[in-house]
Structure 1
């Protein structure tokens, strides 16, 4: 058996952290025909069962199920009969669900945001070129990979979702290392978004920015009229790789 690797290492996805504030790029990556969406319900990934085989020395009997944008857009639509516009999901600054934020008062935002699926841009796969800020997705940039928490919309979409596989606890799923890497990254970020619903400074609800990689306080919307300039209360996921040195504290990006 080959030596095991940490699930967060060895992945082929380019996370493109510098593009998370580019609404032009994110909008084109969101609706790209090459975009791949992996779905989670209660932190369980949607998987397909397959005949058991050995990959990289490990038994594999599950595969991540992925959906194209056209199917995902129908599920994201409140009516389920019209494709949601990418501009409703991400705005030019990388803020997620901008229409819902702008069209509701401060007191009503949290219930509305709780009904909006968490969407995470995981990066692009098999990229050969690096995109430039404020440029749209190009063929050489690879295939965009996204993760979506469908828990808020599961009741009305379950019939469609279960046609594509079943939601299985990560501890029970036997995925290839590359897919386990992707699923672990996606699950960690969805969980982080779910756990940090309120600003640590003032207690107001937070909203998702940078395509799921930053949470900003909704007070910034009141101050700046709808956009966050990054100077007020925000938080990003981090991990400590060495407790003996503060130099080894890295943002998870």
Structure 2
């Protein structure tokens, strides 16, 4: 099976001062989504209601964060009639203000996300004669609470169509546009699932903004529901006021999905002839990659690159430049790809600072280039044809580490544009 294509650079056909100086923009796997997110419409429940029920609308289902697919190379979508038994006739029939006012912490709601509009598909859906395209949503069908029965029925229905929920991280074989849609949906579903309670007061939160924000409602209708369940019609209680919460004051009332910046870097020797590679103990034999680590608070990207390289390998870097970035939905990272060059005399490898790596070594450019041709693969996968046992193994093209190594062995250091990727 051939590896999936990498997303095309944005506006690759447009000539500009920037493209002439720096080359075409680099697009990495999990980026390059075909969807216009129209983020400013996420609070418009009338728009969301119309998009939800349009005949061209696609729903991507997830069960415990595993997406619905034909196989590991093709996602599969369902329509509104398929999901109606789980989400009801119109979950967007009320404004966000009404939803917050009527919030009931005892009611289980399957997480629904609006992902965007595919403008390349002129399917008849339009909004205010300005925004066009087929709407895309994602839905968490994991059985839980009062929706367990409906969720289980939906799962059985789609499985009867010879479809499956693909487990694990085997989603780097998807076509690039589908991988980007999957990455967006997975990251948002994971964030919602991890934040059911308010960090300020510990009370349950409500998902709004079509899945892009969580809020801490000031009242809870659960007390009214409890009173009604007793059967009393004369002593009905008003909705219970919840404790004061810092998230409802001033501009602190925002809780949006997090993205954790992570640096990943190709490190070049002072003479420009070698590349620093490292490996973790759990990796297959001969498998190496570029170094990486999290950006810390009050730290620039360049500083994070230099710090992480020194902590993990003892190598000291001078100049650092940004190459490209890659979304990484496991669970919510933005990989910031960089190239850094070692200062003269700073190439000694010392692994005792932060014992994260099992090994680190300098590899000459020719060996890296050969490994990029025949020694790449995902973890647990076989290398490409032509690989000789004992040779260097590297991450696949879908990993930004591969793109960084391709760049430094293909002319990036001389300011040349690398050869087109196929």
TM over 0.5: yes
8 A contact 2:121–2:134 mirrored in 1 = no
Describe the shift of the 1:170–1:71 C-alpha distance in structure 2 as closer, same or farther (beyond 3 A). Answer: same
Describe the shift of the 1:24–1:229 C-alpha distance in structure 2 as closer, same or farther (beyond 3 A). Answer: farther
8 A contact 2:6–2:29 mirrored in 1 = no
Of 119-128 and 66-75, the range deviating more from structure 2? 119-128
Query: What corresponds to 1:171 in structure 2?
Result: 169
Q: Flag the structure with higher helix content.
A: 1
Q: Return the alpha-carbon distance in structure 1 between the equivalents of residues 196 and 208 of structure 2.
A: 13
Q: Return the alpha-carbon distance in structure 1 between the equivalents of residues 261 and 179 of structure 2.
A: 20
Query: What corresponds to 1:63 in structure 2?
Result: 74
8 A contact 2:103–2:217 mirrored in 1 = no
1:72, distance to aligned residue in structure 2 (A): 1.3
Q: Return the alpha-carbon distance in structure 2 between the equivalents of residues 43 and 125 of structure 1.
A: 23
- Could you report, residue by residue, the CA deviation over 1:94-147 in whole angstroms, capped at 9, with x for unpaired residues? 479x49x8274xxxx1x423xx21000001112699xxxxx9476951010000
1:12, distance to aligned residue in structure 2 (A): 1.2
Q: Return the alpha-carbon distance in structure 1 between the equivalents of residues 77 and 127 of structure 2.
A: 23
Aligned to 1:151, what secondary structure does the other structure show? coil
The within-5 A match list for 1:58-137 is 62-76=73-87, 84-86=88-90, 89-94=91-96, 98=99, 102=102, 104=104, 109=105, 111-113=106-108, 116-126=109-119, 136=127
- If asked which structure has higher relative contact order (CA below 8 Å, sep 6+), I would say 1
Q: Return the alpha-carbon distance in structure 2 between the equivalents of residues 201 and 126 of structure 1.
A: 39
Aligned to 1:238, what secondary structure does the other structure show? coil
Of 27-36 and 2-11, the range deviating more from structure 2? 2-11
8 A contact 2:141–2:155 mirrored in 1 = no
Aligned to 2:206, what secondary structure does the other structure show? strand
Aligned to 1:171, what secondary structure does the other structure show? coil
Describe the shift of the 1:198–1:168 C-alpha distance in structure 2 as closer, same or farther (beyond 3 A). Answer: same
Aligned to 2:73, what secondary structure does the other structure show? strand
Query: What corresponds to 1:12 in structure 2?
Result: 34
Larger radius of gyration: 2
8 A contact 1:45–1:168 mirrored in 2 = yes
Query: What corresponds to 2:213 in structure 1?
Result: 214
* Unmatched runs of 5 consecutive residues or more in structure 2: 8-26, 221-238, 243-247, 263-294, 302-332, 334-422
Q: Return the alpha-carbon distance in structure 1 between the equivalents of residues 37 and 168 of structure 2.
A: 22
1:24, distance to aligned residue in structure 2 (A): 1.0
* Unmatched runs of 5 consecutive residues or more in structure 1: 50-60, 77-83, 130-134, 247-251
